[in-house]
Amino acid sequence: MARKGRILLPQREPESGGHPPGTGKSRGPDDPDVIRLFRLIEEARAQRIDAALRSARFYQSAGNLPDAEKQYREVLVVDPTNAAARKAIEELQKVKDTVEKYQETGVSVAPSTGRAYDVVTYSLVSLLLRAQAAFGRGDLDTADTLLTDLLKREPTHGRALELKARIAKFRQINDLLASLDGKFGMGDYFSAVTALDKLLQEFPGRSDLLLKRGKALLMANRPFEAIRDLEQLLATSTRSPDLLTSLSDAYAAAEMPLKAAAVADVSSDGTPVKPLHSRLILVWKAYPFSGSLLVLGLILLPTAIFWTWLQFDRLSERHPPGRFFTLARLSLLATLSGIPDTQTEAWKSLAMHVRHPWLSYIVGLLLLRQGDASAAQEPLQKALESPALAPRAYFFLGVLRSRLGQPIAVHDLEQSLLAAFRGLETAFIPTFLSRLELEIAEQAGSTAGAFENTIEDLSRQAALELFCQSKDTTPSHGGSK
């Protein structure tokens, strides 16, 4: 420093009697000029340090830590041993480390706020974020505690005040909902509806509140208002499991059973929301007359099935299935090639077991064709049990009894003639049987040709007309004259 002082010391004119001009004289540290120069340098250095410290503290107070650190380091350049600057840099580093930890947890402060390095701000932001997270998961107590701590530090924090107000509102809602459960439990549905009206004014369109109000209105016997609330929820993406059940009940209470049944049959998982008997009752209410007939039919159906089975069982006992196959076989052969005399015994056996007038009539005709009038009399007598076959059977009974010389033959022929004139209903006569009748009637006519205009002749003519009509037309149950 003394050397610098000597260099910087200005040259002065030599005094009289001193050294000649142009010659220098070294000055020692105790020289007044050197001392004065040292003082000036120290003052300038102190001023520079003081200015840098003041700038650094200003930047630090303003939250501008990078510029503050820069100024503190300027101080250390001038005065490497400056304790205040070193301590301040250490404090700034601690702040930066703390800020970095906050940033690692997702807490950030925009530089434009001027608080990018304000630990208090980061702490407040952290408290706010934690409170918001607790609020989001429904932990209102934790959120309220965090916000209280935040507002103690900054009572005018807007977002914290807003969130605290929302928590208070939700507490009010929870209290109202808790009271609703009590009102539902006590059956005070009118008060429940009133409370839900207030809640829906604050939170319009909220699905859980609409569902609760719909249920309360339904229990308060106000189904149409309940339907209004519940139908709004059908358009929502997520439906409560109770929605369709409540809506079906509301439709039923509003005397709309068909809609109630339709809703009761709908579900998201493939299972109807109401059991089958409940849906059937709703359908019956929609169509009472048809429903009553259906119920009656369902009641009578087992009875009809049992009766049919019983009759079939009795029929099977009386007529084994083999006999029906025999009847079908003989009828098919007769239709294709007529009935030869060789099949007479088969028809007699079938008629003996089945005992039907139609079969007895066929057997009587076959025996009469063979000339066995005595044997033909009994089966033809049995054929009289059928009102439709009786006119035909009377004619052939009259013919064979005439051959046997029985006086009752006149009565039989008269009955046949009267039936022809009355146009009584005729039986179903297949083609093969009609041919057999004509054949026997023509035989009877050839043996009675001498009796013109007798009862037998008139009956034969009427019978021939009847038999020809049966042969020439499709067999039917219509009358003939």
> What is the rounded distance in angstroms from the CA atom of residue 425 to the CA atom of residue 330?
26
> What is the rounded distance in angstroms from the CA atom of residue 479 to the CA atom of residue 419?
10
Query: In the structure encoding, which two tokens stand for residue 376, read together?
Result: 């033909």
Residue 15: its pLDDT value, please?
44
Task: Determine the CATH number of domain 187-286.
Answer: 1.25.40.10
Q: Which H or E element spans position 376?
A: helix 373-383
Q: Assign 164 to helix, strand or coil.
A: helix
- Domain 32-110, classified CATH 1.20.120, yes or no: no
Half-sphere exposure of 27 (CA within 13 A, CB side): 21
> What is the rounded distance in angstroms from the CA atom of residue 26 to the CA atom of residue 19?
12
Q: Assign 106 to helix, strand or coil.
A: coil
Give 45-51's long-range contacts (Cβ < 8 A, gap of 24+): 45/78, 45/79, 48/78, 49/75, 49/78, 49/79, 49/82
Mean pLDDT for each consecutive 10-residue tract of the chain (481 residues)?
Answer: 42 45 57 80 82 82 75 82 82 75 68 60 72 80 84 82 84 71 71 80 79 86 89 77 85 88 76 82 84 84 80 62 80 86 87 84 89 87 85 84 84 77 67 84 60 58 59 39 33
Residue 11: its pLDDT value, please?
45
126's CB contacts (< 8 A; 6+ apart) are 102, 105, 107
Residue 197: its pLDDT value, please?
82
> What is the rounded distance in angstroms from the CA atom of residue 345 to the CA atom of residue 421?
35
> What is the rounded distance in angstroms from the CA atom of residue 199 to the CA atom of residue 239?
20
Nearest residue to 261 via CA among 287, 240, 296: 287
Give this prediction's pTM. Answer: 0.37
Residue 468: its pLDDT value, please?
55
CA pseudo-torsion sign 63, 64, 66, 71: negative
Cβ atoms of 479 and 423 within 8 Å: the answer is: yes
For helices 344-354 and 321-337, give the axis angle rounded to 10 degrees. 140
Cβ atoms of 394 and 415 within 8 Å: the answer is: yes
> What is the rounded distance in angstroms from the CA atom of residue 222 to the CA atom of residue 273?
22
Residue 473: its pLDDT value, please?
41
Identity of residue 252 = A
According to CATH, the topology of domain 321-472 is 1.25.40
Cβ atoms of 68 and 59 within 8 Å: the answer is: yes
* Burial track 21-53 (b if 16+ CB lie within 10 A, e otherwise): eeeeeeeeeebeebeebeeeeeeeeeeebeebb
